[in-house]
């Protein structure tokens, strides 16, 4: 990834919108990257809309589809406000735009979830309405690793003629994400979750929906008139390379991640038999492990974990003093939610890394309990 970005930085540094030779060279890099991502995800190149990341992509599909319908209702040209369906375990970049729209009068239904954070297609079907304009369900939960039945949910929406969006940030490169087979209408992606650069992502959006979606901001309309601004050519090239590498090596990476995930759980359980695993053990995102440790003060535990890169919840919200909204949604008591560790295992981690991490956690808990 770094080598490709360096090559592009040196050879295609122009503005892709410029018509001179340097601009055309940069534009060719952008379109080649778009085609590579489309090939990896089994979608069309013109369905790939580059954004600054998944937060922007999520906001674009939610606000871009719902705001025009909300304006029709506010202007008296629609009998009722638009309706959207989602879940309480979404990423904050889905929850917050929906809550904002809800304050404006948009109707939002939060689907019930079970103790593992899963939704049922029957509950989705039961909550669809004539004015339902969008359904958004995260593919793989970023905190507890729950994999949702995306194919089933998409089929329910397709039968009802309702657009279906999924935040696939955690899923791509970890499990098979086939745009065509899944039958979804929109997915959000982020490069840095795949080993790519920060600051670049994409919304993959069916062409029919592009005509119904409005941009978040106005300008040059470089990305199919849905996203304006000079395209960051080097970041886009790195993004495409990361997607290719992650999807080409999917089977090998998945086996590696699942093996390390199981090793970590076994090592932790050997030292902490009372630990609680949050989220399912089956149908779980490879490389994700989320545990709660009863009887341990969360803040004190954190102070004893020097040298270990783990989090208590979503990395985007880990500065929030409140317990994880995902853990609260699945019924975890606050005391346990505050004594929770989330491990994210990557393809470059080794068994030695896993053993060291488990030893650090177990030693920290022993020290706290003996103090």
* pLDDT mean values, one per 10 residues, the chain (371 residues): 97 95 97 98 97 99 98 96 98 98 98 98 99 99 97 98 98 91 95 97 97 96 96 98 94 96 98 97 96 90 88 60 91 93 95 97 93 76
Does the fold of domain 251-370 match that of domain 2-248?
Answer: no
Q: HEC states along the chain?
A: CHHHHHHHHHHCCCCCCCCCHHHHHHHHHHHHHHHHHHHHHCCCHHHEEEECCHHHHHHHHHHHHHHHHHHHHHCCCCCCCCEEEECCCCCHHHHHHHHHHHHHCCEEEECCCCCCCCCCHHHHHHHCCCCEEEEECCCECCCCCEECCHHHHHHHHHHHCCCEEEECCCCECCECCCHHHHCCCEEEEEHHHHCCCCCCEEEEECHHHHCCCCCCCCCCCCECCCECCCCCHHHHHHHHHHHHHHHHCHHHHHHHHHHHHHHHHHHHHHHCCCCEECCCCCCECCCEEEEECCCCCHHHHHHCCCCCCCECCCHHHCCCCCCCHHHHHCCCCHHHHCCEEEEECCCCCCHHHHHHHHHHHHHHHHHHHHC
Give the model's pLDDT for residue 303. 84
**pLDDT, position 51:** 99
User: What is the residue extent of each domain of the chain?
Assistant: 2-248, 251-370
- Amino acid 225: pLDDT: 95
| This prediction's pTM | 0.95
- pLDDT at position 343 is 96
Active site amino acids: 316
Give residue 249's pLDDT. 87
pLDDT of residue 298: 80
pLDDT of 52 reads 98
CATH of 251-370, one of 3.90.1150.10, 3.30.160.150, 3.40.50.300, 1.25.60.10: 3.90.1150.10
Specify the pLDDT at position 316.
55
Fold of the domain built from segment(s) 2-248: 3.40.640
């Amino acid at each position: 990834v770094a080598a490709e970005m360096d090559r592009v930085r040196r050879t295609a540094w122009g503005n892709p919108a410029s018509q001179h030779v340097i601009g055309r060279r940069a534009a060719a890099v952008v379109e080649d990257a778009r085609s590579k991502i489309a090939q990896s995800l089994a979608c069309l190149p013109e369905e790939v809309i580059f954004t600054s990341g998944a937060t922007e992509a999520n906001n674009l599909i939610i606000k871009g589809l719902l705001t025009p319908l909300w304006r029709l209702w506010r202007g008296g040209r629609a009998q009722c406000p638009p309706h959207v369906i989602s879940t309480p375990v979404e990423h904050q970049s889905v929850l917050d735009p929906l809550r904002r729209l809800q304050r404006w009068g948009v109707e939002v239904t939060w689907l019930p979830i079970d103790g593992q954070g899963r939704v049922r297609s029957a509950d989705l079907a039961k909550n669809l309405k004539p004015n339902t304009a969008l359904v958004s369900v995260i593919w793989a939960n970023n905190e507890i690793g729950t994999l949702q039945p995306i194919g089933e949910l998409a089929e329910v929406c397709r039968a009802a003629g309702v657009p279906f969006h999924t935040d696939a940030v955690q899923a791509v490169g970890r499990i098979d994400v086939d745009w065509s087979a899944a039958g979804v209408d929109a997915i959000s992606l982020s490069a840095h979750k795949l080993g790519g650069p920060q600051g670049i992502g994409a919304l993959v959006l069916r062409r029919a929906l592009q005509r119904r979606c409005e941009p978040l901001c106005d300008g040059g309309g470089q990305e199919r008139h849905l996203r304006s601004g000079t395209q960051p050519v080097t970041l886009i090239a790195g993004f495409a390379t990361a997607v290719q590498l992650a999807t080409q090596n999917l089977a090998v990476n998945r086996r590696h991640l699942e093996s390390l995930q199981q090793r970590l759980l076994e090592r932790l359980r050997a030292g902490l038999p009372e630990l609680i695993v949050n989220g399912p053990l089956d149908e779980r995102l490879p490389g994700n492990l989320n545990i709660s440790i009863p009887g341990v003060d969360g803040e004190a535990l954190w102070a004893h974990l020097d040298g270990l890169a783990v989090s208590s919840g979503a990395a985007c919200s880990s500065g929030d003093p409140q317990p994880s909204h995902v853990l609260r949604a699945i019924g975890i008591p606050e005391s346990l939610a505050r004594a929770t560790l989330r491990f994210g295992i990557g393809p470059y981690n080794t068994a030695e890394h896993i053993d060291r991490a488990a030893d650090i956690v177990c030693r920290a808990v022993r020290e706290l309990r003996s103090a």
